[in-house]
Amino acid sequence: MADSVYSVWRNKKKEDCDDGSQNDAPDAVLVCHKQREIEGSEGKIPLWFDRDSLQFLNYSSEKPKRYVNYSTLGVTPASQEVN
């Protein structure tokens, strides 16, 4: 028997909308259907997807987190490599 049950709801209506009327709506919602631990709390967390970083964010205005500091020093872009 499961101790916790979660699901992710995807806002397909927002994905299909081109007129911008759904901009403030979340891209997804993380739903806790069941939790047996300490409080047994259930709830929903709205999430906004940032396509550039491939991260889900807590707020539409939130900036994605940088987990790795990439450096381009000493790296030759593939388009400039000589074969």
Q: How many CB atoms lie within 10 A of CB 47?
A: 20
User: Cα angle at 43 between 41 and 47, to 5 degrees?
Assistant: 140
Domain count, the chain: 1
Note if the pTM is more than 0.75: no
Nearest C-alpha neighbor of 40 from the set 8, 1, 4? 4
C-beta of residue 5 within 8 angstroms of C-beta of residue 29? no
C-beta of residue 2 within 8 angstroms of C-beta of residue 32? no
Question: pLDDT tens digits for 15-65?
Answer: 888 777 777 899 999 999 888 876 777 889 999 999 889 999 999 899 999
Could you tell me the residue range of the domain that residue 28 belongs to? 4-80
Q: Please provide the size of the chain in residues.
A: 83
Beta strands in the chain (DSSP E): 4-10, 28-35, 43-50, 55-57
pLDDT of residue 83 exceeding 60, the answer is no
